[in-house]
Amino acid sequence: MTVLERLRKRSGLLVTIVGVALFSFVLTGLFESRFSLFQDRPFAGEIAGTEISLEQYDLEVDKMTQQQLDNTGQTSLDAQAQEMVSGNAWEKLIRDLTLGKEIDASGIQVSDNELSDMIIGKNPDQSVKSAFMDPQTQKVNPQFADAAGNLNGAKIKEYVDKLQESPEGAEYYEKWKKFEESLREQRKNTKYFNAIKKGLYVTTSYAKQEYLAQNTMVKFRYILKRYSVVSDTTIKVTEDEMQRYYNENKYKYKQEASRKVEYLVWDILPSGEDSTDALDKLKAIADEFKTTKEDSALVVRESETPYFDANLMKRNQISGAMDTSIFTAPVGTVIGPYYEGIKVKVSKLIKSATSVDSASVRHILIPYVGAQQAPAGAKQTKEQAKATADSLLKILKKSTANFADYVVKFSSDSGSVREMKEGKMVLKEKKKLGAYEWFKEGQMMKEFQDAAFFGKKGDVVIAETPYGFHIVEVLAVGGSSPRYQIATIERTIEPSTKTKQGIYDLASDFAIKYNTADLFNKGVEEQKLNKRVIETLKQSDKQIPGIEQPKDLIRWAYTNEKGTVCVEPFTLGNKYVVALLTDVREKGIAPLEQRKIEVEIGAKQDKKAAMFMEEFTKAGATAIDALGTKLNLPVELIDNINFSAFSVPNLGRELNVLGNVFALKENQISKPIKGTQGVFVVVVDKTTPAADTKDYTASKKQLQQKLQYSVDTDLFQAMKEIANVVDNRVKYY
């Protein structure tokens, strides 16, 4: 039988095998993607009842990413910037589906004429002003400014018209249209908020009530039996009492979604063997360092840090880890390899010299077009400026008698030419023209400093800096000290693959062996490990103290059940992490079990309050001094307080006490009052009514401003709150 015939007979089997293989391939693809056919339909979240698909969220992120790239001129965003953009995209979706829907439903519009007035009208919108302003000088770009330096609407229109008409300007015109649309949306928002603010009204009755609350003063005395005088350990509460307290105080236990995670960390650090290997590798480089004449090239090729032709350093500026013999060694001496922290280094003495510590000079600065801070009147090219400086140098080398005159005529360094006197800028006295007296190391640019520090009194030299060409005359030099220029090749001691694997094995073995909550804690005890705890881990958290980029850990915490130990260690920065999910808190009212300790404390406090109130009542005193004596409690005085007070002096926020005080008549003793710190009894000694008035304009204005301010700060947050936002992004990103 031929091969062809055998294939024909088995073709049905082949088709079946191929079909199964393809089906397996498809299933594998589904299971490996961020969702599969057998999971719930994935979505990034839900806002005000609207599900946000992953695709919809991705599209918004892409749009905002592109906007950020366009605004900054970058080609890509780093991880931190991308994280911020992703958060802003989600916030925009929330805003669009809450505040945005309300604004659209209001029918508020911004006409083309209104938009035009925002851009090219007499008083352009601040966003437009900012768009045409130099961020450094904070002045309008001259291309779009009028004679007075203000933004010129006609020039903006001319520019935009050219973009629209020119094929080359098509890309920029599209960006301009997007800018216009953002202005339109911004104005719609402003109109909506203003409409709400203007709809707010403060009645005279409300203003009067607020006026009386702020200006009616009360003097009162009180006695207080604090809850702390009875230890919690002596108070017993039943499950029913705790349940009753919880039911009555559920509002206290409102919470956002969070997780409690306990975790262990294995730092990925180099071993002693890794340190020795790093040292050995640098020994060969040290040998080459001794013979090479191309020091900078060797440093560039072999070192983690770039070669830096630095200033000569004083002895106290050089690392103490370096062998001190380098300070007396000849130029070319190589020291090392040696350890410095987590690095291994080899250093070479490039130059040694004696240099002054300070100097006085005078100079003439010749600028050129394109130099830093060149004056607007600069006309010379760099070559022309150099020729001018060379000519002046020849003259001044012969005699510096007219140095001050040349400073006035040629120098563009106004700070060394003029000074402020009696509110006016005037020419400095002749001996100070162009002078910088007794500057120390690091106060001037290196080239300028070298001209002074490596010269001697009377020297006249040229120094080039980014500001132009300086003709420098050294007037005087200070004391001197030895300096050293040292080139260093350094490498960080990194853990080897073998070392990493060994540390990973320790973490992995722990995760496998101690894979339940009880076993996890047993393992911590047995191995005497340092367990860390994150009490409140939120989906939106971007950082965990001591852990880099914890996104994978957060995703795991929000996709697993309470009591789960991760099946394999997380690799987070330079650490392996094994985690236990110890608590799952969902958004809403926390169940009693999660707040049991707080509820128990509250229930015990309620029980103490009932005991104290009964004790006060049984004492039967009708005067506060007598009651204080019977209960052995001091009588305290509050001298003048109003109803609007946020807190009571020395007591804090005791709103029940304030409410009762302002409901009592003078000399009337209160019933026992349950407060936050204990049980009170109060008596009002004196009430000073607010001054009579019929004009509540000031109170109305104050309340109106307060209400309007709350629109700006609270409106969107209130809409966001009732939108019941569900954020699932951590599961997929």
> pLDDT tens across 719-728, in order?
999 999 999 9
The owner of tokens 């052995």 is 632
User: Residue 532 in contact with residue 264, Cβ under 8 Å?
Assistant: yes
pLDDT at 25 over 60: no
Band of the pLDDT at 356, cuts 50, 70, 90? confident
Please give the angle made by the CA atoms of 191, 196 and 197, to the nearest 5 degrees: 95
pLDDT at 29 over 50: no
Q: Indicate whether 401 and 444 sit together in one domain.
A: yes
Residue 609: which CATH number? 3.10.50
pLDDT at 141 over 60: yes
Q: Indicate whether 573 and 701 sit together in one domain.
A: no
122 vs 553, more confident = 553
- Is 455 among the domain residues? yes
CA 694 from centre of chain: 50
Looking at residue 21, its pLDDT comes to 38
Query: Taking every pair of C-alpha atoms in the chain, what is the biggest distance, in angstroms?
Result: 121
In terms of Cα–Cα distance, which of 563, 626, 510 is closest to 261? 563
Burial 335-358 (b: 16+ CB within 10 A, else e): bbbbeeeebbbbbbbbebeebbeb
Q: Indicate whether 392 and 446 sit together in one domain.
A: yes
Stated pTM of the model: 0.66
- Is 670 among the domain residues? yes
Span 686-710, average pLDDT: 93
Looking at residue 41, its pLDDT comes to 63
Q: Indicate whether 57 and 204 sit together in one domain.
A: yes
Span 386-410, average pLDDT: 94
Q: Indicate whether 522 and 582 sit together in one domain.
A: yes
pLDDT at 692 over 80: yes
Task: Tell me the pLDDT of the chain averaged across its residues.
Answer: 89
- Is 179 among the domain residues? no
Span 222-249, average pLDDT: 96
Instruction: Give CA–CA dist 217/212, Å, rounded.
Output: 9
Looking at the chain, the whole-number percentage of residues with pLDDT higher than 90 is 66
Cβ neighbours of 310 (radius 10 Å): 12
The domain boundary, picked from 478, 511, 537, lies at: 478
Before 135, cis peptide (omega within 30)? no
Looking at residue 309, its pLDDT comes to 58
In terms of Cα–Cα distance, which of 625, 644, 651, 529 is closest to 580? 529
- Phi-psi group of 618: left, alpha or beta (phi > 0 → left; psi -120 to 50 → alpha; rest → beta): alpha
Q: Indicate whether 77 and 208 sit together in one domain.
A: yes
Looking at residue 8, its pLDDT comes to 36
Instruction: Give CA–CA dist 382/368, Å, rounded.
Output: 5
Residues 6+ apart with CB under 8 A from 495: 268, 269, 270, 271, 274, 503
Dihedral, 299, 305, 309, 314 alpha carbons, nearest 10: -110
The domain boundary, picked from 554, 586, 618, lies at: 586
569: tokens are 């260690």
Span 227-234, average pLDDT: 95
DSSP 185-242: HHHHHHHHHHHHHHH----HHHHHHHHHHHH-EEEEEEEEEEGGGS-GGG----HHHH
Q: Indicate whether 407 and 529 sit together in one domain.
A: no
Instruction: Give CA–CA dist 533/529, Å, rounded.
Output: 13
32 vs 214, more confident = 214
Span 70-77, average pLDDT: 85
pLDDT digits (tens, 9 = 90+) for 639-677: 999 999 989 998 999 999 999 999 999 999 999 999 999
pLDDT at 35 over 80: no
Q: Indicate whether 363 and 469 sit together in one domain.
A: yes
pLDDT at 419 over 90: no
The owner of tokens 């909506």 is 192
- Is 141 among the domain residues? no
User: Residue 149 in contact with residue 132, Cβ under 8 Å?
Assistant: no
Return the minimum-mean-pLDDT range out of 262-276, 292-306, 396-410, 550-564.
292-306
In terms of Cα–Cα distance, which of 543, 569, 565, 567 is closest to 554? 543
- Is 118 among the domain residues? no
Instruction: Give CA–CA dist 733/730, Å, rounded.
Output: 6
Return the minimum-mean-pLDDT range out of 146-155, 206-215, 713-722.
146-155
Q: Indicate whether 425 and 386 sit together in one domain.
A: yes
Q: Indicate whether 205 and 72 sit together in one domain.
A: yes
Looking at residue 10, its pLDDT comes to 34
Looking at residue 311, its pLDDT comes to 63
Q: Indicate whether 205 and 74 sit together in one domain.
A: yes
Q: Indicate whether 249 and 277 sit together in one domain.
A: no
**What number of CA atoms fall less than 13 Å from residue 106's CA on the CB side?**
18
Looking at the chain, the whole-number percentage of residues with pLDDT higher than 70 is 94
Q: Which H or E run contains 465?
A: strand 460-465
Span 444-464, average pLDDT: 91
The domain boundary, picked from 303, 326, 355, lies at: 355
Looking at residue 545, its pLDDT comes to 85
pLDDT at 563 over 50: yes
- Is 159 among the domain residues? no
Band of the pLDDT at 12, cuts 50, 70, 90? very low
- Is 116 among the domain residues? no
pLDDT at 28 over 50: no
User: Residue 626 in contact with residue 223, Cβ under 8 Å?
Assistant: no
* Residues β-bridged to residue 486: 349
Cβ neighbours of 312 (radius 10 Å): 21
Count of domains forming the chain? 6
* Residue-number span of the structural domain to which 24 is assigned: 3-32
- Is 81 among the domain residues? yes
pLDDT digits (tens, 9 = 90+) for 301-351: 888 887 765 567 778 778 878 878 888 889 899 998 999 989 999 999 988
Determine phi and psi for 231, rounding to 5 degrees: -65, 140
Residue 377: which CATH number? 3.10.50.40
Instruction: Give CA–CA dist 366/472, Å, rounded.
Output: 11
